[in-house]
Chain A
Amino acid sequence: MPDFPILTAIVVTPIIGAALMTLIPARRPEITRIVALLFTVATLGLSIWLLWNFKVGDPDFQYVENYEWIPGLGARFILGVDGISIFMVVITALLMPIGLLASAHHVDHRVKAFFGWFLVLETAIMGIFLSLDLIGFFVFWEFMLVPMYFLIQGWGHDNRRYAATKFFLYTAVGSALMLACTLVLGFLHEASTGLLTFDFRILAAWGFGGLSITTETILFLGFMAAFAIKAPLFPFHTWLPDVHTEAPTAGSVVLAGVIIKMGAYGFIRFSFELFPRATVDLAPLLLITAVIGILYGSIVAAMQRDLKRLVAYSSVAHMGFVILGLASLTVIGLNGATFIMVSHPLTTGALFLIIGFIYERRHTRQIDELGGIWKPAPVLTALFIVAMFAGIGLPGFSGFVGEFLALAGTFISERPYAILAAVGVVLAAVYMLWAFQRVFTGKPTGENAKMTDATKREILLVAPLLVLSLFLGLYPKPVLERIEPTVRQKIAFLEQKTDYRQKRPHGFDSNRLGGESYKDLAKKALKEQR
């Protein structure tokens, strides 16, 4: 355990900023902005430090911190980072200051509250990605709704109250079932071993010792209720377009970037270890919904008249690829899924920012009211083109790497689904290029002709995301080599606990499979508690 509680620092820094913010007088919005920016940048600095010092090749949790929280209930405050969560933390920390800067000048009422909620949101997200205690995870998961709700309903667009409430309730239903299942899981463990704990590592090692597959499946479905709604998986996706459309730009960036990854994150974090048999059994169901999500999301995206809705539906499709990769239950597929979770925030974040810039100028996002923007705003258009190709998954951009790996993983284990899903890649090009044609090309008329081009500030906001996407597209190794050990361990665990065996392509080095057993991990976790 390191001397400096770096993970706690990452979780707590933003909310300290929010607390400080209440002390700043309301008539000094500029100080508020600087303080908010300072704290998000500080968090970014801490997470980059974490990334820098992250031990490559170690599948285990690193920098684990373990404190008592609710004594009688065995709920603890446990933080730890592994190859999957490290990148979610870094991406969150990166998107936050960008989102703040993007909204810095068009949030002009109740500035203090806006930035305050934004910082609270960052704390909640970091807590979700770093928690290793199921109760702690739920606490952050549920708490995250509050800042998100107030951000949408306070600073969103016309229909924001409806959207905010819809978001809150949809997510709350899922998480309520998750809470019930968490408690049942904890107490089943207590009944069988005598130890009441919600420590993920200990529960993982227990692996439902001797309990029926039905119990396991029901609990798995309870967790999936929360994850599927948040992901959003196909039939539960209807909240996303409404909420995306009504959210303020900074909210959309964070929402598309990080919040919808939480469902997939929860799935990859918990279901493999906690419900190995149910995961294997129900993987085909996930594959089907993932493919439906990809095709349905892409087709519906093509039909949208509102740019933000279009990108929102494209997110449904992209999340379909993530779920596809996860449900393929192969190392390659999981690698790809995790990689999309890192790359999608970059591209979608950039797209939402650019749409935000267009909206600020034209006060509309309707595709048929725009047109020919290329002429008056060539730089903005150039940015959009790059973001668009990154989003489509053109080779050379990060989107390609992730989708390719996810499809390859699925191709190994479940060929038909991979073939169907691959159609989605083509459809992505269809809806994006079609939207691009209608919005940017042609002769500008009326207001469109008078549009101003991107300012330096706007370019500086979007550029880091696109550069990073390009970098990871050309050189994905730094990300993959950190993800892979953890992913390998997950699949190894699955093979150890069930009779599932990963299908391997020819020439695949099976000796490389394996990893530290969860028994040892649980031993380590128990030692910390004492």
Chain B
Amino acid sequence: MTGFVLAAIAPITTPSVDWLGVAPVIALGGAGVAIVLARALLRRSAVTTPVCVALGILGVVLAAIFEYRLWHLVRADGAITTMAGMVRVDPFGVFLSVVVLIGTIYALFISVAYLKRESLDAPEYLALVMLSAAGMVAIITANDLIAIFVALEVLSIPLYVLAAFDRRRMASQEAGLKYFVLGAFSSAVFLYGVALTYGATGSTSLTAIGDFLANNTLYEQGTLLAGGALLLAGLGFKVAAVPFHFWTPDVYEGAPTPVTAFMAAATKAAAFAVLIRVFSIAFPLYRTDWKPALWVLAVLTLVVGSVAALVQTDVKRILAYSAIAHSGYILIGFQTGTIAGRQAALLYLLIYTFMAIGTFAVIMLASMTGDDRHSLDDYRGFALQRPVLGGILIFFLLAQAGIPLTGGFIAKLEVFSAAAQSNNYSLLVIGVLAAVVAMFFYLRIALALASPATGGEYFSDRRVDRWSGVVVATAALAVLATGVTPGPFIDWARQAVYFV
């Protein structure tokens, strides 16, 4: 009895916290909370939205400064592990966190005009974006399956709401509901995988699992393999890998376009970070087991993504399938299991962020109020009436198709060369052929843009606001720069492949 009392009053020993390691998450999450507070205090005053936008930008900028600091720290002294091993900040994590931050700031910028145009409430929207971004950065630096699960929920739940944010539009509601149901299901699958892995290895920490498997031979492998498969399925859902992709077209189509952009770029980077981290740190010795599974996943993702896009007539749906296909290329890089492959995956995620956000930013600008006219016919004549904007959109599409002298080519080239280097010729050939199939549907969009309009001149009266203009211009420049002078970007990715 006394022992129980003593235990109850004894101070709980909390693990020591290296605050810098979690500072980016705090900055982003704090900005989200601050936005909610600003909304509560300022009510519906005229300054509410500008203040909230400023808070969001402040959060991202602070997080970026912390990441900059962390980058130099981990490059000099090695990875930082803190919060009892829950968080692990390493070059790999910092790189992808920066990718997420780029996606977030771009998403904020293009949301400003969108929310005004659609007369939606900005503060709630912005707070959700910031919270989701906090979850993404947290998941990228998480070193424990439980922490990963928590962060997964933190990043997902705001996204469910964001997908349904344009509540007046049926498609948006449908997208939110569908995303929520399937997302919750995949989270459950992931959690089940966590449980089985814990059962097999006795730990939820990735490094501990890796050490355990390195030092012990499992008497019975089934539990661990089942756990790994369920983890792969749960994460496959988030990266939109086939056969876990069924939500993608509907959600991409229905969600407000800036949210689609955010999902395409930032969520993908975060989910791939986890996928790569879990399988590289916890299960490196089971490579022979997960590599064939990833091979199947990569091939299915490439083929289904590229072929299914051919028959779509809605631009956002085509781009959704193209996002699936892009996941396939990143999977190729990771599947090789080599350092070069991981580097290719990282570079791909960086370049893809610019391409995806840029594309969706122009799509957002081109769409009419209501954000529901995205069929190919609706886009006819866009490049003729708006040569600059249309030209940039075509440039982004060509980049996604992997045409040389754009970043998209360099991204694909790195992935393919990683496959060639590890003698993975089947993936190499399937990859290059899938890229040709993909060219066809990108060309279809480009062709529609350059065809005479059927419905009169309705694109010409739309002005490009300053925020979106900055996004479109800088993203296009980034895609061009990565394509023409890829050296520094490749160097950066090469430094970021390590977990130590």
Contact = CB atoms under 8 A, between A and B. Distances in A.
A and B part of one assembly: yes
A153 B403 contact: no
Interface string B411-433: 00110110111000100110011
Interface in B393-413: 398, 403-405, 409-410, 413
8 contacts: A73-B414, A73-B417, A165-B440, A176-B433, A180-B428, A180-B432, A184-B428, A187-B417
Interface stretch (A132-140, A421-429, A482-490): A132-140
A444 interface: no
A236 to B, nearest CB: 15
A216 to B, nearest CB: 15
A68 B403 contact: no
A183 interface: yes
A21 to B, nearest CB: 13
Given A135-B413, A173-B436, A183-B428, A165 B420 contact: no
Nearest to A190: B421
How many chain A residues sit at the interface, stated as a range, is: 35 or more
Interface string A169-202: 1001100110110011011001000000000000
B433 A173 contact: yes
A113 B436 CA distance: 26
B450 interface: yes
Given A71-B491, A146-B398, A161-B451, A169 B440 contact: yes
Interface in B429-444: 429, 432-433, 435-436, 439-440, 443
A179 B414 CA distance: 12
A169 B437 CA distance: 8
A180 B487 contact: no
B61 interface: no
A187 B404 contact: no
Contacts of B343: 72
B490 interface: yes
Interface in B458-500: 486-487, 490-491, 494
A142 interface: yes
A237 to B, nearest CB: 19
Pick from B404, B413, B428, B491 the residue with the most CB of A within 10 Å: B404
Contacts of B432: 176-177, 179-180
B413 A73 contact: yes
A283 interface: no
Contacts of A150: 450
A12 to B, nearest CB: 12
Contacts of B439: 168-169, 172
Contacts of A220: none
Interface in B42-95: none
B436 A71 contact: no
Contact of A168 (B409, B443, B490): B443
A71 B417 CA distance: 13
B447 interface: yes
A359 interface: no
A138 B343 CA distance: 22
A179 B416 contact: yes
A70 interface: yes
A149 interface: yes
Interface string B211-245: 00000000000000000000000000000000000
Contacts of A73: 413-414, 417, 490
A173 B435 CA distance: 9
A250 to B, nearest CB: 18
A190 B435 CA distance: 26
A376 interface: no
Nearest to A75: B413
Contacts, number: 87
B403 A146 contact: yes
Interface string A488-522: 00000000000000000000000000000000000
A438 B493 CA distance: 65
A187 B413 CA distance: 13
Identify the 4 closest CB pairs spanning chains A and B, nearest first.
Answer: A183-B420, A176-B432, A139-B404, A143-B404
A180 B417 contact: no
Interface string B361-391: 0000000000000000000000010010000
A151 to B, nearest CB: 12
Contacts of B440: 165, 169
A154 interface: yes
B416 A183 contact: yes
A72 B417 CA distance: 11
A145 interface: yes
Contacts of A176: 432-433, 435-436
Interface in A56-88: 68-73
Which applies to chain A's interface (DSSP): helix, strand, loop or mixed? helix
Pick from B387, B436, B450, B451 the residue with the most CB of A within 10 Å: B436
Contacts of A173: 433, 436
B333 to A, nearest CB: 13
A172 B404 CA distance: 12
Contacts of B494: 72
B420 A186 contact: yes
Contacts of A138: 404
Contacts of B425: 180, 184
Nearest to A150: B450
A168 B413 CA distance: 19
B404 A142 contact: yes
Nearest to A161: B447
A72 B447 contact: no
A68 B404 contact: no
Contact of A149 (B387, B443, B490): B443
Given A142-B404, A183-B428, A71 B487 contact: yes
B420 A187 contact: yes
Contacts of A142: 403-404, 409
Contacts of B421: 187, 190
Given A71-B487, A180-B416, A169 B404 contact: no
A110 B420 CA distance: 43
Nearest to B494: A72
Nearest to A140: B404
Nearest to B430: A180
A69 B384 CA distance: 35
Given A71-B490, A165-B443, A184-B420, A139 B409 contact: yes
A140 B414 CA distance: 17
Interface string B111-141: 0000000000000000000000000000000
Contact of A139 (B405, B420, B429, B450): B405
A264 B355 CA distance: 35
Contacts of B429: 177, 180
Contacts of A146: 398, 403
B58 to A, nearest CB: 36
B175 to A, nearest CB: 31
B484 to A, nearest CB: 9
Nearest to A182: B420
A139 B484 CA distance: 11
Pick from B432, B450, B486 the residue with the most CB of A within 10 Å: B432
B450 A183 contact: no
Pick from B387, B414, B443, B494 the residue with the most CB of A within 10 Å: B443
Contacts of A190: 421
A68 B417 contact: no
Nearest to B347: A72
B434 to A, nearest CB: 9
A228 to B, nearest CB: 16
Contacts of B404: 138-140, 142-143
B487 A68 contact: yes
Contact of A153 (B410, B416, B433, B447): B447
Contacts of B403: 142-143, 145-146
Nearest to B431: A180
B436 A183 contact: no
A183 B417 contact: yes
B436 A70 contact: no
Contacts of A184: 420, 425, 428
Contacts of A70: 410, 413, 486-487, 490
